[in-house]
Amino acid sequence: MPGDATGMYIVIPAVQSQTHRGGVHLNTHRLIQAIRIFLGIIIISIIGGPSILIAAPVYQWHTYMGGASDEKIECMVIDGSGNLYVAGYTYSDWGGSPVRAYTGSKDAFVAKYSSGGTMLWHTFLGSSDKDEAYGIVLDASNNVYITGYSKSSWGTPVSPHSGNEDAFAAKISSSGALVWNTFLGGGMDDRGYGITIDSAGNLYATGYAYSTWGTPVNAHTGGFSDIFLARLNNSGAVQWHTFQGGPEDSLNFTGFDMGFYLALDGDGNIYVAGQGTHWGNPIANGGYKDIVLLKFNPSGGYQWHTFMGNQQSFDQPGGIAISSDGYVFVTGASFGNWGNPVTDYSIIGAGGDNAVVVKLDTDGNRVWNTFTGAGSTSSGIVLAGAGIYIGGSTGDSRWGVSEYKTATYMAKFNSSGAFQYKDVQEGVTSREAGHAFAWDGNQGMVVAGHAESSFGAPLASYTSGYDGIIVRWNETIDFDSLTVTYPNTEDVTTSTPIEITWTSTGNIPDVRLEYTLNDGWIWQEITSSTPNDGSYEWTTPKSDTTLFRVRISDAADGDPNDISDKAVDLYNPPSLTIYEPLGGERFDCGASVWVEWSSAWNRYEDLFLTVYIDLSIDDGTTWHPQGSRGSCNAGQHYSFHFYAPEEMYSRMCRVRVRNWDHSVFKVSESFTIGRPKTITPILLLLMDQD
């Protein structure tokens, strides 16, 4: 989700589904030693941003928050000045003088910290019943918006509480004062998990609803739970809302559909990532508890949905990000293999999950999917130039994790989905968890979550139970990028001179160029090093394929790199071959000139529905139409004849065979049209004398 209205940061919090918390276990006992890894538990989509090449981070500070009972940070966002905003829920009062007092049982909270880790203010939100916050976003003025759910009413809501659990949205000023709150839901349970904001200040929230409410764009299906998407204006009034999901089927355990993550593209379309079972007419069919991705237009109109996952096993989303060129990346975990993965699913023992990354185009078609190839889950994704980074937890011994333990990890894939490397840090216990990860746009990387013990020298001390924890470290970030611009999505012809073009930022002196004929299984070198001047002339291979791509990378170390956005056709161009007339032949004026040819194509049959024949007597400077022939099939020989013109003598004659618009033609070798040979009277006289 976008973290502020300027589009600088897009932060998506981890969420809790019915079966799994989408978080990464943090090793707070050894966190200082683990600062060289990303504790990526959240989605950051840097729309239009440059490549981020990340060096080893340097620990800066960490702090705890909380009281006598449990506190959990579920989401976080950072403003343009590096201030941190965290939200979650707590079972007790803490922190001295909150802007709004703790009300009892379980309250949602929001807290603001300086970039140096000092708490600037905190506030509690809720009733005397259960209240939890799961999503957070900022606007351009650093007003804070959160979503979650409440068991009872509180505040002076724009729309009243409807009973049981209702989703809520709330606006908090930059100083922590509650501006407004509102409830979303019907008479049964409803929860909000994701929230984002557009440049006009409109809010979008997603979650799930057990029953209908209001006047939706699309009606509730009556399933156990439907995904909801709602748009609110900046005063908290609902402008529209809609439902999507499948009908209830207790026998097949269908009808449980939930929205967890959402993001906006540059045109204002809304993408929601969630979990569900098969319903409707998806682009790709679903199975049991699959990841589902939905697209809505800015008015809430349904565009499409698609499922991702193994038909027989459990798949869960972990986040969503949109690249600057509109591709959608979804991460999560799968408990079985599916698709045609770039890196294969792999487990040890009787079962387990692999973290998964999926790339889709704006129409919902899967470009590729890939796995880590080890037992792992993913709760966050970062698009960093041509690199794709995920963070999560793993218990796989092949990654060096001890038996019965879990560890945090980060992993990198290249832009074509190939697994490149991972970094794993094993925890002492598995009872610490991180739920949020963010970058401040400068030098700061921050992770937030909860912990049940202390380590190091925190700015604020650990108290008891589960405390919220925030850890910040610095790292050097270089803004280097490479982007293929041609061939990128365009088909190209075989054996054809082309100019490969690209753009770059930062300091990359030389680049390496490669191509593939099988969508990345095998890469072949074009040049090992050429100056990074944005273009390179090259002749395409002779072999045709539908899986052609070009890759560019830093010649020094291969990073950053980029490949063509999609596999394109490398096809044989349409062509004509002339068999008659042959070069050097001679035809008398008035004699028949036979032309024989064949055509070849694999894409453009209509180019040769009619073939035209022209004659030149001045070596191709001017052409004279001679006729045409229709219904020409590829690979077959056809013939046509015309009479050599009278009184037109030349040793520089040529025939041209062409299609209707002259885009494909073939010119013969030169031949001669001359006067007819005659027997002179002198020869006859000599014969008579004999």
Q: Which of 553, 571, 589 is the last residue of a domain?
A: 571
Two tokens at 311? Answer: 């038909």
227 and 240 in contact (C-beta within 8 Å)? no
The CATH number of the domain where 450 resides is what? 2.130.10.10
Two tokens at 120? Answer: 């600037």
Instruction: Answer positive or negative: Cα dihedral of 224, 227, 229, 235.
Output: positive
Are residues 549 and 649 part of one domain?
Answer: no
* 686 located within any domain: no
* 2 located within any domain: no
Are residues 486 and 466 part of one domain?
Answer: no
Are residues 589 and 467 part of one domain?
Answer: no
* 655 located within any domain: yes
Are residues 592 and 467 part of one domain?
Answer: no
pLDDT tens-digit readout, 320-337: 889 888 899 998 888 888
* 472 located within any domain: yes
* 681 located within any domain: no
Are residues 265 and 137 part of one domain?
Answer: yes
Are residues 36 and 179 part of one domain?
Answer: yes
Are residues 243 and 132 part of one domain?
Answer: yes
Residues facing residue 422 across a β-bridge: 411
Contacts of 574 (CB under 8 A, 6+ apart): 599, 600, 601, 603, 604, 607, 608, 659, 664
The CATH number of the domain where 514 resides is what? 2.60.40
Are residues 561 and 435 part of one domain?
Answer: no
Residue at 506: amino acid letter: G
Are residues 559 and 444 part of one domain?
Answer: no
* E strand map for 277-327: 290-296, 302-308, 315-322
Q: Select from 526, 440, 463 the least CA-distant residue to 115.
A: 440
Q: Select from 303, 233, 319 the least CA-distant residue to 270.
A: 303
C-alpha distances in angstroms, 677 versus 541, 584, 586, 587, 591? 50, 17, 12, 11, 12
Are residues 315 and 445 part of one domain?
Answer: yes
Instruction: Answer positive or negative: Cα dihedral of 298, 299, 304, 306.
Output: positive
Q: Which of 571, 604, 628 is the last residue of a domain?
A: 571
Are residues 325 and 420 part of one domain?
Answer: yes
pLDDT tens-digit readout, 170-211: 999 999 999 999 999 998 999 999 999 999 999 999 999 999
SS3 content of the chain, % helix, strand, coil (to 5): 5, 50, 50
Q: Which of 478, 499, 524 is the last residue of a domain?
A: 478
* E strand map for 609-668: 610-616, 624-630, 637-643, 650-658, 665-667
Distance between CA atoms of 508 and 501, rounded to whole angstroms?
A: 15
| Most distant CA atoms of the chain, gap in Å | 141
Q: Select from 3, 1, 4 the least CA-distant residue to 140.
A: 4
Q: Is 417 exposed, middle or buried (0-12, 13-18, 19+ CB in 10 A)?
A: buried
Contacts of 514 (CB under 8 A, 6+ apart): 523, 524, 525, 526, 550, 551, 553
Are residues 122 and 101 part of one domain?
Answer: yes
* 3 located within any domain: no
- Cα atoms in the Cβ-side hemisphere of radius 13 Å centred on 85: 29
Q: Select from 500, 564, 486 the least CA-distant residue to 532.
A: 500
C-alpha distances in angstroms, 10 versus 55, 329, 437, 449? 22, 13, 11, 18
pLDDT for the residue 311: 80
pLDDT for the residue 604: 66
* 684 located within any domain: no
- Give the containing element (helix H, strand E) for 8: none
- The ranges of the chain with pLDDT < 50 are 1-56, 350, 425-430, 683-686, 690
pLDDT for the residue 29: 33
Q: How far, rounded to the nearest angstrom, does the alpha carbon of residue 182 sit from its chain's CA centroid?
A: 33
* 680 located within any domain: no
pTM of the model: 0.68
Q: Which domain holds residue 526?
A: 482-571
Q: How many domains does the chain have?
A: 3
542 and 536 in contact (C-beta within 8 Å)? no
The CATH number of the domain where 600 resides is what? 2.60.40.730
Cis peptide before 560 (omega within 30 of 0): yes
